[in-house]
Amino acid sequence: MPVKIRLTRRGRKKAPFYHIVIADSRAPRDGRYIESIGKYNPLTNPATIELDFDKALDWLLKGAQPTDTCRSILSYKGVMMKKHLLEGVKKGAFNEEQAEEKFQSWLQEKGNKIQTKIDGLQQGEDADAKKRLDAETKVREARAEELAKRNAEAAAAEAKANAPKEEETPEVADEVTEEKAPEAENKEQAPQA
């Protein structure tokens, strides 16, 4: 029976995540499988991979063939490297302690690369957030200046509108007193005549 390490799709439409399974190569993609050894979510950045390292290595050593995507996932997690080192031990190229040292140094380098990527993504997100905040602050300040300008213009127009009304009232009063004054003179002159 040809055994494959492959992905089965789960999740809803346009939001997939996958289970990493050991399955007969003749079984349908989402059909029956022998064993589930992990999960893979490509929507996160970096992709989230949960893998049972020992089971994956065991199945590889038994002869299970990974698909292309699964091969990349297994390489990313170090299963393929471990298999390579174990085959080197079988051939007598080096002993188990040297193989374990090489594997641990490889894991450390890989962890550093992953952490660097995560840090870079975080810094990029922080920089984008700062740019958006600065742009929003500029827009807010421009709106505040425009609003202050409108308020100043409205206050000036209101003051202009109020100021002439106050000046017109005394002029009208002066005109009235001037009109009353000649009448009063006429009244005084009339009795004399």
Q: For the chain, what are the domain ranges?
A: 3-93, 96-172
12 or 166, greater pLDDT: 12
Of 44, 36, 38, 50, the C-alpha closest to 16 is 44
- Average pLDDT score over residue span 15-29: 93
Spatial distance between the Cα atoms of 162 and 189, rounded to a whole number of angstroms = 42
Spatial distance between the Cα atoms of 192 and 64, rounded to a whole number of angstroms = 139
Report the topology of domain 3-93.
S16 Ribosomal Protein; Chain: A; (3.30.1320)
pLDDT tens by residue, 86-145: 999 988 888 889 999 999 999 999 999 989 988 998 898 889 999 999 999 999 999 999
Q: What's the pLDDT band for 174 if we cut at 50, 70, 90?
A: low
Cβ–Cβ < 8 Å for 59, 3: yes
pLDDT, position 79: 94
Q: What's the pLDDT band for 169 if we cut at 50, 70, 90?
A: low
pLDDT tens by residue, 53-103: 999 999 999 999 999 999 999 999 999 999 999 999 988 888 889 999 999
